[in-house]
Homo-oligomer: A and B are copies of this chain.
Amino acid sequence: MNKIDNPPIVDWKQVLERPTQTVADIESTVVSVFTEVKQDGDSAIKKYTEKFDSVSLDSSIVSTAEINEAEELVSEELKKAIQLAKSNVETFHKAQKTEKVSVQTANGVDCWQEKRPIQKVGLYIPGGTAPLFSTILMLATPANIAGCKEIVLCSPPNKEGKINPAILYAANLCGVTKIYKVGGIQAIAAMTFGTETIPQVYKIFGPGNQFVTVAKQIATKYGVAIDMPAGPSELLVLADDTANAAFVASDLLSQAEHGTDSQVILVSTSKKMIAAVETEVEKQLAVLPRVEIATKAIENSKLIYIETIEIAMQLINEYAPEHFIVCVENEDYVLNTIENAGSVFIGNYTPESAGDYASGTNHTLPTNGYAKQYSGVNLDSFTKSITFQKISKQGIQKIGEAIELMADAEGLQAHKNAVTLRLNSLK
């Protein structure tokens, strides 16, 4: 772990530098798969599933029989855990519903704003060793609350042509309307263009490897929206002497096990706490099953000593952490001062894992400093707002002249004329 002692502001940029993302030159691969899927549809999907997932499928659709089978395979206790988590996610996201905003800006000029669901959304869930069924709760649940009509899920099949039962169980529980055994670039391409089998969607959500990340970027060129730009996951813990070193160490390690490029930072106003956390990390690291990944991420991690909490908060706002754990005496100061963060975890009994799975907040969050300008996924991610206006005869008489003057000053005579005609008709 790298210890950094009271870095001067001029060094912050370097101190806070994130691990370099080696986005290899895979854009050409992505573009060629996109071109083929656009042109050949299902047959291109079949070809790439054979190539990348080593399995030949007659159909990519997951059948009701497969969903029922999956339900049998998931243990009752895991099902209950998933149900509890889903229920909390639902409670929190339902609370985010907003009413129609309606105002009369002038007599006879009624304006309002309403949110309407994005009708077709696509969710991508990676396959591989760890089946990320928790991400389905985070994406399908709010999509459902928002009222999206079509909620499509794509996830790669294993070599037996199957999807992990926990993924199918969660998808069915959370109201996914169609599930497809398609992964990687070809899944993103399918949802971008639509195929004979897989519907086109308007917005694509979900995590993925480098190929999926680049494919989502390319998808935006074809008019599809995406949840947010991607980057490696990261955690910043702010701790003083009121923190519990063992808990803090366990949080840093839970971030570190995500991948070797995970970013793990402890900021503390206490050198004693930094030393204690360091010792605890070594102790806990030894017994972890994903010890290799975690060790590499921990090697890149940073323990930063900062003299005062005021300076610490400036540094943290500059960094804009995806996950921000706060274990300090003066919580209120931190909560009032934090300007840039994805999700904030407060106190000694609020581990990041809670938000990853079951507290109710969303775990799809802005990484890479994007918390400065992007929100994590929330109910509004699945809606768009439309504005409306209705102007009466009295209303156009009230604001008509101002419109004429402004249109004229901008050199747009036809804009002015549309008002003049109406005003003249009322004379």
Contact = CB atoms under 8 A, between A and B. Distances in A.
Contact of A361 (B225, B254, B258, B389): B389
A373 B148 CA distance: 11
Q: How many copies does the complex hold?
A: 2
A344 B393 contact: no
A135 to B, nearest CB: 10
Among A134, A345, A385, A406, residue most surrounded by chain B Cβ atoms (within 10 Å): A406
Given A81-B401, A111-B359, A349-B396, A385 B391 contact: no
B354 A131 contact: no
Interface of A is mostly: mixed
A202 B373 contact: yes
B223 A130 contact: no
Interface in A243-278: 244, 246-247, 250-251, 253-254, 256-258
Contacts of A413: 257, 288-290
A19 to B, nearest CB: 15
Given A130-B410, A257-B412, A351-B418, A384 B373 contact: yes
Range of interface residues on chain A?
A: 35 or more
Interface of A: 77-78, 80-82, 84-85, 87-88, 91-92, 95-96, 98, 101-103, 105-106, 109, 111, 113, 116-119, 129-134, 166, 202-203, 220, 223-225, 229, 244, 246-247, 250-251, 253-254, 256-258, 284, 288-290, 294, 335, 338-362, 366, 368-376, 378, 380, 384-393, 395-396, 399, 401-403, 405-407, 409-419, 421-422, 425
Contact of A385 (B346, B368, B375): B375
Contacts of A342: 386-387
A179 to B, nearest CB: 19
B388 A335 contact: yes
Contacts of A258: 412
A415 B134 CA distance: 13
A319 to B, nearest CB: 13
Given A88-B105, A92-B105, A116-B338, 11 more contacts: A78-B409, A84-B402, A85-B403, A130-B410, A134-B410, A202-B372, A344-B387, A353-B416, A357-B415, A358-B406, A374-B384
